[in-house]
Amino acid sequence: MVDPVIRAGDVRGAVSAAVSAQPVTDIHTHLFGPEFGELLLWGVDELLTYHYLIAETLRASDVGYDAYWAMSQREQADLVWKTLFIENSPISEACRGVVTALQAYGFDLTTRDLDSYRDALRDVRVEDHIDRVFELANVESVIMTNDPFDPVEQPAWAADRAGDPRFLPALRIDPLLNAYSETGRPTLTALGYAADAELSATGLAEIRRFLDDWVTRMQPQYMAVSLPPDFAYPEDSERGTIIRECVLPVSRERNVPFAVMIGVKRAVNPRLRMAGDGVAKADMSSLERLLEQHPDNKILATLLSRENQHELCVIGRKFPNLLVFGCWWFMNNPSIIDEITRQRIELLGLSVIPQHSDARILDQLVYKWPHSRAVIADVLADKYADLSASGWAIRQSELERDIAALLGGNFRRFLAR
């Protein structure tokens, strides 16, 4: 079969079409398969009470923290809609996302009748809605955030999970690493692991046994932790010791990569609850030392501060055992996705995972991916146009190969290495 060379004038169109057509593996979300019941959030009121929109609503309305939290979810969603969509144009990225999703469902946005949108989804079966959302977003699979320290989620893992294969597990260990004394150790003790305060050899062996058992039970794609800006490694702390003595050995032995998500300042405004987290620039030398001291460990990394993104690309050049991923959280806005995707392609070529959605509500896939694909396609169109102008023949099959790698293949190859 002829493998056409794309004419210079057609490169942009070919790139846009290829990015749009490529099903994506979404490597970090807070979604749950339907077998997790109420843990899977979906629908109009969940979309509108997404914590990003709570923060924006409390800026724009006269409603105080306590009055907001005293409302029902429906009342909260009504306030968000009135404040951000009716009294103001929904121009922020989180607001525009809701508009994109409602439009994609075919709702009449000229009515702005929130109840009609609610009614349209009321009788939908969740399994059917999942099919529709995955098709609209062109998503082939999502990786969940599964927390064995969460008393609500923990029981779901007691039985064998014959779940929807499109929802893949990830073992999230923040309480073990960031709150060992307060949460990690008490939970392990309750689960029958003799973790101790001194982190003795026996105690560390028990933490390894806990991780090993949960890797067996959950079959996670990776183990993940979010880390503060002052994350230090190596460090003679509970976190530094457990990472070195427990997480990295189990990660290597079980071939389950360790994902570090660095730069979050938890609860800078506790009154906003989940919406109250902030960001700060991290010291990247800790990531360098983690990678340099453990060359046989596979590390996934995403950084929350815009100021860390260029350093992250340079570190990616130094360490093949690092896979850079996503435009995380406060990075997930078109202006920043554009900037850091250009840096990544220029410095790391195709050896990155440009985006994940971080979706918390199923319907968010319907906007987060179209919004990101548009920006990523724009960047790639420029880069392939530059390559073509430099004299390289851009072949259709090679373009499609490259984009398949960016939107899922790189991740699967990293896991299989």
Contacts with ligand HDL by CB under 6 A lie at 30, 145, 226, 274, 329, 358, 360
- CB nearer to ligand HDL: give 30 or 383: 30
Question: With binding defined as CB under 5 A, does residue 164 bind Zn ion?
Answer: no
226 binds, among ligand HDL, Zn ion, none (CB under 5 to 8 A by kind): ligand HDL
Name the residue nearer to ligand HDL (CB basis): 22 or 308: 308
Nearest distance in Å: CB 128, ligand HDL: 26
Query: Residue 87 in contact with residue 60, Cβ under 8 Å?
Result: yes
Q: Which of 311, 358, 378, 402 binds Zn ion (CB under 5 A)?
A: 358
Please, what is the minimum distance in Å from the beta carbon of residue 360 to Zn ion?
8
**Of 252, 372, 352, whose CA–CA distance to 312 is shortest?**
352
In order of 270, 298, 386, 409, the CA distances from 350 in angstroms are: 39, 18, 15, 11
Q: Which residue number, 56 or 358, has a Cβ lying nearer to Zn ion?
A: 358
Smallest gap from residue 151 Cβ to ligand HDL (A):
18
Smallest separation (angstroms) from Zn ion to the CB of 145: 6
The residue whose two tokens read 């906003």 is: 272
Nearer to ligand HDL, 351 or 364 (CB): 364
Q: Cβ closer to ligand HDL: 95 or 345? A: 95
The listed partner (Zn ion, ligand HDL, none) that binds 360, CB under 5 to 8 Å by sort, is: ligand HDL
CA 352, CA 349: separation in Å to the nearest integer?
8
User: Among Zn ion, ligand HDL, none, what does residue 45 contact (CB within 5–8 Å per kind)?
Assistant: none
Q: Which is nearer to Zn ion, 164 or 358 (CB)?
A: 358
Q: Closest separation between CB of residue 38 and ligand HDL, Å?
A: 18
Shortest reach from residue 289's CB to ligand HDL, in Å: 23
**Closest residue to Zn ion, Cβ-based?**
358
Which residues are paired to 245 by β-bridges? none
Q: What pairing do the DSSP bridges indicate for beta strands 278-279 and 264-265?
A: antiparallel
Stretch that binds Zn ion, among 2-10, 107-115, 199-207, 351-359 (CB under 5 A): 351-359
The one segment of 301-309, 355-363, 382-390, 408-416 that binds Zn ion by CB under 5 A: 355-363
- Using CB under 5 A as the binding rule, the residues of this chain from 378 to 397 that contact Zn ion are none
Give 82 or 273: the residue with its C-beta nearer to Zn ion: 273
Q: Please, which residue, 142 or 315, has the CB nearer to Zn ion?
A: 142
Nearest distance in Å: CB 372, ligand HDL: 13
Nearest approach in angstroms of CB 70 to Zn ion is: 27
Instruction: Return residues touching Zn ion (CB under 5 A).
Output: 358
